[in-house]
Structure formats: C-alpha cells, structure tokens
C-alpha cells in the first residue's frame, strides 16, 4: 500500500509527468518544468522534490532528470542498464575505452566506472554508485563509433577497431598496459584490418602505432602484412616513444628498434593478463 501511495500524482505533478509518458520523453530539465508550471520556480522546485521522493524522477545532473515511467510499477524499479542512462549526459558521445572493451568481451574486468568519449570535457557524474567519466577528444580522434544495442537499448559505442586504438592510446583508461595487451590479443581475430589501418592513419598518433606494434608482437598477434606495412609507414626517423607513462613507470628500459619504442615496463607486467 505504501508503495502505491508513493507513486500517486498530484494535479501539478501530473502536468509534469503525464506529457513525458505520452510523448515517451525520458529526460526533462528544471527550466522545462518551470515552463510547464507557468514560470514559478518555487512551485517547480517543490514539485521536483516531491517527484524525486515519489520515485517518478531520478536526478542525472544539476537541473536534469530521468523519468521512471509508470510501467516500472508501484515499486519504481529503476533501469539497471547504466549505459542507457549514460547516453543522456552529453551529445555527441560514444562509450569507449574499458567500457567498450568489456562490451566486446575483449576484457573480463568488471568496473563501476563508465567511460564516455565526447567532444568536450564535462564533470564526472555519479548515478547509483556508478561513476560516469568523460574524456574530451580532439576532432581527429572523435570517430569510429556507431549505434548498437545494449540490453535492447540503443547507444553509441566505439566499433571494435576504434576500441582497440582508443585503449592502446590510453592504457590508463583500459585497465593498464597488461590489460591492453590482453585486449589486443583478444580483439585480433575480430578486427577488420583494413579498417584498423585506415583508423590508425586518421588517428594520427605515432605513439599509439608504436605501442600497438610492440604489444601485438609480444602477444603473438598475426597482423596481416599489408597492415604492418601501413603502420610502419606512419613512423618517423628517430620517433622514439615510451611504451607507457613515465610518471607511472619511469624512463628506464630497453629500446625496441622495430617499433622505436623504449620499453619502460617490466615484461611480467606487459604479459600479466595473457
């Protein structure tokens, strides 16, 4: 009985909720609620507090709210698909890094952080103990994603090739260098290597190419010869890079002449997840 009472609607609350239900509009903002309630900010704030308490709305960020529709029942069962929630924070976006790698089962690590690539940097958001972290990318790196289904909900996700490139570019967002080696090894059999080569050119990062080349060799990945030639053509004379962050691993290591990379990470760490 208490749960049923908690999901009732007053006349003012109905003015907010019923149009959302009718139009199947999942998100509403505070300014929109103010407009619905004839411009009264005090009335709007009072109604928002009540709708949050009754579990008709869930706070996404300051001033933006997610509808918990009537079909969620009197108990207001919330959507357990956190990616379906994360898609509303910023446009354009795509789920990336460890989140995308987990989607494709390139990694088995479970995490409470959801990584979202965007064209601008916005503050992190936390909803129900899940942290949404946003990585602002320059325009040349913001590509290689498409609409996909996650638990029957449409979201934008990096494709397999771009997921690998993004993870190699930012091991810190993919579980570390050992986990990235695993991602490269697991992804290899599913990659379109022509697409991968094209993406590597577009991504325009010698360091990413060097790191991928070295890790692929260490993981015994059979990269097609055409792709290898394309990747090596992107290197420049004396374009040395460190395999991983010098802040984390320092600057000491052996030099790999094939990929012009200074391997500043212990081999046991590189191969720890293989």
Q: Name the 3-class secondary structure at 125.
A: strand
Q: Please state the domain count of the chain.
A: 2
Are 149 and 16 found together in one domain? no
Range of the domain at 154: 82-234
E strands present in 220-264? 241-242, 254-256, 261-263
Q: Looking at residues 157-172, what average pLDDT do you find?
A: 98
Are the CB atoms for 66 and 57 separated by under 8 Å? yes
> Do 123 and 168 belong together in one domain?
yes
pLDDT-based confidence at residue 5 (cuts at 50, 70, 90) = very low
Q: CA-CA distance, 185 to 173, in Å (whole number)?
A: 17
pLDDT on residue 81? 82
pLDDT in tens, 182-193: 999 999 999 999
More confident residue, 39 or 256: 256
Are 104 and 136 within one domain? yes
Per-residue pLDDT band for 176 (boundaries 50, 70, 90) equals very high
CA distance to 192, 215, 216, per residue, from 220 (Å): 17, 8, 6
The percent of residues above 70 in pLDDT, for the chain, comes to 96
97 and 188 assigned to the same domain: yes
The structure tokens 């993004």 sit at: 166
Domain match, 27 and 92 both: no
Tens of pLDDT, residues 59-71: 987 788 989 888 8
115 plus 198 within the same structural domain: yes
Residue 267 within a domain: no
Same domain, 65 and 165: no
Is 145 within the bounds of a domain? Answer: yes
Its pTM stands at: 0.85
| Residue 248 included in any domain | no
- Domain match, 132 and 44 both: no
Do 216 and 115 reside in the same domain of the chain? Answer: yes
Which of 41, 72, 103 finishes a domain? 72
Domain boundary among 72, 96, 125: 72
SS3 category, 174: coil
Which candidate, 136, 140, 131, places its Cα nearest to that of 162? 140
Angstrom distance (rounded) from CA 55 to CA 97: 32
**Better-predicted residue by pLDDT, 134 or 5:** 134
Q: What is the pLDDT of residue 235?
A: 95
* In a domain? residue 112: yes
Residue with tokens 């903002």: 29
Tokens representing residue 197 in the block: 């080569």
């Amino acid at each position: 009985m208490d749960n049923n009472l908690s999901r009732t609607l007053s006349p003012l609350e109905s003015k907010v909720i019923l149009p959302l239900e009718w139009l199947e509009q999942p998100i509403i903002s505070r300014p929109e609620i103010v407009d619905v309630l004839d411009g009264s900010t005090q009335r709007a704030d009072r109604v928002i507090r009540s709708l949050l308490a009754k579990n008709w709305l869930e706070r996404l960020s300051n001033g933006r709210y997610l509808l918990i529709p009537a079909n969620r029942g009197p108990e207001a069962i919330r959507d357990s698909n956190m990616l379906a929630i994360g898609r509303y924070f910023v446009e354009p976006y795509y789920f990336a890094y460890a989140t995308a790698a987990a989607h494709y089962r390139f990694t088995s690590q479970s995490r409470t952080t959801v990584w979202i690539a965007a064209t601008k940097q916005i503050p992190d958001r936390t909803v129900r103990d899940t942290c949404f972290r946003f990585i602002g990318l320059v325009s040349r790196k913001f590509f290689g994603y498409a609409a996909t289904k996650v638990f029957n909900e449409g979201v934008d996700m990096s494709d397999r090739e771009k997921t690998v490139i993004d993870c190699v570019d930012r091991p810190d967002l993919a579980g570390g260098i050992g986990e990235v080696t695993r991602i490269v090894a697991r992804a290899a059999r599913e990659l379109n290597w022509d697409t991968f080569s094209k993406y590597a050119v577009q991504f325009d990062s010698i360091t990413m190419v060097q790191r991928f080349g070295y890790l692929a060799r260490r993981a015994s990945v059979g990269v097609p010869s055409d792709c290898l030639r394309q990747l090596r053509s992107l290197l420049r004379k004396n374009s040395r890079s460190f395999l991983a962050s010098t802040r984390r691993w320092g600057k000491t290591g052996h030099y790999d002449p094939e990929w012009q990379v200074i391997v500043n990470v212990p081999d046991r760490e590189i191969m720890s997840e293989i």
